[in-house]
A and B are shown apart, each in its own frame.
Chain A
């Protein structure tokens, strides 16, 4: 069982960082929240509605970027985004796709096939895909993977901007120091259970580290 008796709520507009060691259940939690994986037991609620009863159109409100980037290697960056824009029925795709490519610093690679992009550039393209339809909730599974230091800075600035614009951001990471910076709230998982759930505060990283070490013993 990847998640064990998890019970918590997320308020709209929160910036939640899900932390934990490898195998703690972060990916399963994010995939469950993205409606990719229904819980084997229990209930997932959105706006007090059980997720299994939500209309398909509800997915329009979610944007997810996982470990596997869901990009078609043989399509260009631009074509990948146009394809997803069609899936999401974006009426302004012709304007939105270049806009998102620009936002992710990929404007000069719009015509490059996804296969030819480096891991970091692919990661940025996958983030562009998740952000393309302007979701209310952004679910990002270790989004800094493969990004160099300046791009990670840019990612955090962009995420902070998303948060400021009222979006709910939920991201997972195992990098305590870096991922805590933009967080308003922190959820620490260990073996699928909640080890810590509370607001972000100065010095929290050290406390979380100590809890993780203690749990690992």
Chain B
């Protein structure tokens, strides 16, 4: 019970801070928009080509934008040593992780929902034919990125090259997420049932569960001095 209470308090605090500063959303949206524009002009794909490559480009844009968002999200805790304030509380470090994970997940998910129509417009793609499947892929992919990203943003927060360290740690380990989400998105854009990429779906769900549990268990060691 106390785990959820603490996680909810952190989520609420992060959303209130974000509402006031727009720190994460502004950065992620601007970056995502710029990357989408750059990809459109770089490839100028036909409708058929767009359906093939859009999944990869979309998730690359989301991945890079999310790194920016994750870095900014944890910067709130390093300023004024607020992380010490969290660690002083009678809360399991896993609860702190869960709170930060939920706030990162929600903010990035909102940013992606805004970016998605922009991306669809630039690539002349109809992304909302199967909204349920699209939202599910988006949620699972973002969950995978933030599960690891939240953990590594805490690791990199204690290093001198904070902005550089997060992508260095995160990118190699999120390859399975990227592979699975790109395949699943391509399957969706080809108007095929998601069962065609059943292996990737299971891989993504497994990755999300395993890394969420692992990071939840290890977070205490990461934030300990």
Contacts and interface: CB of A to CB of B under 8 A. Distances in A.
A58 interface: yes
Interface stretch (B46-54, B79-87, B168-176, B186-194): B79-87
B206 to A, nearest CB: 30
Interface residues of A, number: 30
B85 A129 contact: yes
B98 to A, nearest CB: 13
Contacts of A74: 16-17, 20-21
Given A68-B81, A73-B79, A73-B80, A36 B89 contact: no
Interface string B76-114: 100111101111111110000000000000000000000
Contacts of A73: 79-80
Interface of A: 31, 34-38, 56-60, 62, 64, 66, 68-75, 79, 83-84, 86-89, 129
A37 B225 contact: yes
23 contacts: A34-B88, A36-B84, A36-B87, A36-B225, A56-B91, A56-B92, A59-B88, A59-B89, A60-B90, A66-B81, A68-B84, A69-B81, A70-B81, A70-B85, A72-B76, A72-B80, A74-B21, A75-B16, A79-B16, A84-B89, A86-B6, A89-B2, A89-B5
Contact of B90 (A38, A57, A75, A79): A57
B85 A56 contact: no
Interface string B1-17: 01001101100110011
Given A68-B84, A70-B84, 13 more contacts: A56-B90, A59-B89, A59-B90, A62-B88, A68-B80, A69-B80, A71-B85, A72-B17, A73-B79, A74-B16, A87-B9, A88-B90, A89-B2
Interface string B43-77: 00000000000000000000000000000000010
A31 B6 CA distance: 22
Nearest to B17: A74
Contacts of A89: 2, 5, 90
A203 B89 CA distance: 39
B89 A71 contact: no
Given A59-B88, A71-B82, A86 B17 contact: no
Nearest to B93: A56
Contacts of A31: 225
A79 B16 CA distance: 10
Of residues B12, B21, B84, B92, which shows the largest number of chain A Cβ atoms within 10 Å of its Cβ?
B84
B3 to A, nearest CB: 10
Nearest to A135: B88
